[in-house]
Each structure stands twice: as C-alpha cells, then as structure tokens.
Amino acid sequence: MLMDERAGGEEARRLGIAVTGTLGVLARGAERGLVRMSSSLDKLLATKFRVRPEVVRQILLGDSNRR
C-alpha cells in the first residue's frame, strides 16, 4: 500500500507492518537501477516536500548513481 499520511504510518507500525517513507522508496529504486537518486531528489525538492538538509547530504553521500 502506498500512502502519504502520518496517521496511517503510525497505525501500520502499531499493527507490525513495515513502513517505508518516500526517500526509502527512492533509495530502493536507485539500488535497483530504476531511478537516479540525485535527479529524483532534485525533482522532489522542487515540490513542497520537506526534509532536513543533513538527511539529503547523507542520502547523496551514499548514492552511487549520482555521477
């Protein structure tokens, strides 16, 4: 299931269901060669998506697809 709602994620965790956020989905796609993390992240950041700058740096430092 895909949803963008904090309450839904909290309920899923309460039920013991694994929860992955937007950045986790992108990271898995990048690991599988389905997306380029740097360009996907650029597009995401051009929206109203909010993430701490240190999280972005951490993701990009570990991204082998960014070159």
Task: Express each pLDDT in 14-64 by its tens digit.
Answer: 999 999 888 889 989 999 999 999 899 999 999 999 899 998 888 888 754
pLDDT of amino acid 66: 44
pLDDT of amino acid 1: 76
**pTM for this structure?**
0.70
Would you kindly state where each structural domain of the chain is located, as residue ranges? 6-61
Asked if pLDDT for residue 65 goes beyond 60, the answer is: no
pLDDT of amino acid 67: 41
pLDDT of amino acid 36: 94
Residue 67's Cβ-count burial label (10 Å; 0-12, 13-18, 19+) is exposed
- Residue 27 Cα distances to 14, 15, 34, angstroms: 24, 24, 10
